[in-house]
Structure 1
Amino acid sequence: MRHGVYLPPFGELADPRVLADIAAEAESAGFDGVFVWDHVARADEPDLAVGDCWIALAAIAAATSRVLFGPRVTPLSRRRPQDVARETVALDLLSGGRLVLGVGLGSDATGEFSRLGEVDGGRERAALLDESLAVITALWSGETVHHHGPAYEVDGLRFLPTPVRQPRIPIWVAAQSVRRAPLRRAARYDGLCPEASPDRLADMLAVVAEYRGDLDGFDVAVAATEDRDAYERAGATWWLRSLPMGVSRAEALCAVRRGP
């Protein structure tokens, strides 16, 4: 099992310089990865400082040399896929091929979508997620892309440069249950970001294996604070030490300096 840290970019950690410092300490302490929440607002906590995940990822890429890193997870329904394609390739180049793209529907539990006029229905966000992934992976190829979908259009464009990481930047997909659609989506790509108990995770991976044929080379990145051994037995390949939302800079540094 590989080990990472999962950082909430809020409060003192809203500053990308702070996240970069924590990531560098995590790398020095022996962690294999650094992953960041991706939010633009916390409507239920109006006085909370919120950092930009993508600027933070650039700072982390520049401050480290070995760890994998990425968003866990970015809701693609609120992003333009062509922008994500450009940004992810830039981060991949900046880091020498260390980016992992974590994606999902996101949640409107705090009004982060609806209060900004974003699409907030689950089915609509799922459709945008699937179409965005199709566009992003096509643009990564470096080939001329013709995509004429219900939401997005690419009319004979070619995006260069291509990623360092081949055959593509790894994509990890979020899922919370044994519902078929999210797990079928995850099975098409490179990993799963589950929000589930160990027993439920084992059931989820059985469904993924059914779609893929096996789980060879498939990453399973659990972000939690307990039951590491149980998650490993269930099939997790990554254990992300999840730091609490209100963690201070000093507390975060202390946590990562203890090592995996």
Structure 2
Amino acid sequence: MTRVRSAIWVPLFDELADPAVVVRLAVEAEEHGWDGFFVWDHVRWREPVAALADPWVTLSAVAAATSDVRIGPMVTALARRRPQVVARQTASLDQLSGGRLVLGAGLGSDRFGGEFSRFGDEVDDRTRAAMLDEGLAILRDAWSGEPVRHRGEHHVVDDVRFLPRPVCGTVPVWIAGFPGRQRPLQRAARHDGFVPVNLGHPEQLAEAVATIGALREDPTTPYDVAVTLAPDADLAGFEAAGMTWWLTDVDPHGTSVADVRAVLRDGPFR
């Protein structure tokens, strides 16, 4: 069985809204043997959170200061970002990191901070789901290096070639979604990984993993299942159910630099 990889996963809020602080944590995580360093991607969060950092700027600094850890936004609500801009950002960040980028993508939610409604962005889940799928299709085409010709319901790309390409020719995409809902599982099966949302127990994960496996076009290719769990959770149970990555789940309200440092110094799951 392939060992479970471990990642520090932090919200860029308040004390962690300083990119320089986050970079130092990423360097420490790499020194302590962690496999990944992922960050939340939000433009607003509910009170008492007051300060937020930009994930792309922060990850660029992390990429320049580290050499081994996988990095990425976990997850990006792609429907509130222009896919042609994300295509440039992801390719540049992947180049800067030497091919270490993972793109987490999902619908997002308005309920944690009104980060759709307060900016006039789409709040309907079905519409955002269509925008997500369309955006992901554009990204895949853009990373190919071939001219992109796309005219859809939400986006237009008129014969544009996106260069340079990512280091390995593409970027792994992990799809976030509720494990009991069919459409997120279908979407996840078309990409490279799954990040279950509000996962309750290992049996629920095992069922989702089996469903995705049956839906995948080629179930023999590598596939990741990244599960967000507290450091004191029963990680072994989720590993047996199909978890390939453990993401450290922390409280977004009041998590301090000291809290994150304590987790990373305890070391990754082995």
One fold, TM greater than 0.5?
yes
8 Å contact kept, 2:13–2:49: no
8 Å contact kept, 1:5–1:243: no
Question: Of 200, 203, 206, which residue of structure 2 is paired with 1:199?
Answer: 203
User: What is the Cα deviation at residue 164 of structure 1?
Assistant: 0.2
* Partner in structure 1 of residue 86 of structure 2: 84
The separation in 2 between residues aligned to 1:250 and 1:204, in whole angstroms, is 35
| Greater Cα offset, 91-100 or 149-158 | 149-158
* Partner in structure 2 of residue 114 of structure 1: 117
Q: Secondary structure at the match of 1:159?
A: coil
| Greater Cα offset, 108-117 or 27-36 | 108-117
User: What is the Cα deviation at residue 243 of structure 1?
Assistant: 2.6
Q: Secondary structure at the match of 1:3?
A: strand
User: What is the Cα deviation at residue 46 of structure 1?
Assistant: 5.7
Map of 1:20-59 to 2, 5 A cutoff? 20-42=23-45, 44-45=46-47, 48-59=50-61
Matched, 1:242 2:244: no
Q: Secondary structure at the match of 2:180?
A: coil
* Partner in structure 1 of residue 223 of structure 2: 218
The separation in 2 between residues aligned to 1:125 and 1:234, in whole angstroms, is 30
| Greater Cα offset, 95-104 or 176-185 | 176-185
* Partner in structure 1 of residue 139 of structure 2: 136
TM value normalised by structure 1 = 0.96
Listed one character per residue, the Cα deviations across residues 126-178 of structure 1 (whole Å, up to 9, x for unaligned) are 00000000011101111011111111111111111111023x11000001132
Question: Of 162, 165, 169, which residue of structure 1 is paired with 2:168?
Answer: 165
User: What is the Cα deviation at residue 250 of structure 1?
Assistant: 2.2
8 Å contact kept, 1:6–1:34: yes
| Greater Cα offset, 236-245 or 5-14 | 236-245
Q: 1:47 to 1:255 in 2, by over 3 A?
A: closer
Write out the 4+ residue segments of structure 1 that deviate beyond 2 Å after TM superposition: 213-216
Q: 1:88 to 1:200 in 2, by over 3 A?
A: same
Q: Secondary structure at the match of 1:107?
A: coil
* Partner in structure 2 of residue 124 of structure 1: 127
Matched, 1:259 2:261: no
**AA partner of residue 8 (structure 1):** P
Listed one character per residue, the Cα deviations across residues 177-218 of structure 1 (whole Å, up to 9, x for unaligned) are 322211111111100011212221111111101111536411
* Partner in structure 1 of residue 191 of structure 2: 189
* Partner in structure 2 of residue 4 of structure 1: 7
* Partner in structure 2 of residue 208 of structure 1: 212
Q: Secondary structure at the match of 1:154?
A: strand
The separation in 2 between residues aligned to 1:77 and 1:83, in whole angstroms, is 12
Count of residue correspondences: 258
8 Å contact kept, 1:32–1:66: yes
Question: Of 75, 92, 95, which residue of structure 2 is paired with 1:93?
Answer: 95
Listed one character per residue, the Cα deviations across residues 50-108 of structure 1 (whole Å, up to 9, x for unaligned) are 11111111111111100001011000000000000000000000000000000000011
**AA partner of residue 225 (structure 2):** V
Q: State the percentage of identical aligned residues.
A: 51
The separation in 1 between residues aligned to 2:13 and 2:103, in whole angstroms, is 20
The separation in 1 between residues aligned to 2:168 and 2:100, in whole angstroms, is 8
The separation in 2 between residues aligned to 1:114 and 1:202, in whole angstroms, is 35
The separation in 2 between residues aligned to 1:126 and 1:227, in whole angstroms, is 32
Q: 1:46 to 1:240 in 2, by over 3 A?
A: closer
The separation in 1 between residues aligned to 2:207 and 2:6, in whole angstroms, is 23
5+ residue gaps, structure 1:
none
8 Å contact kept, 2:14–2:49: no
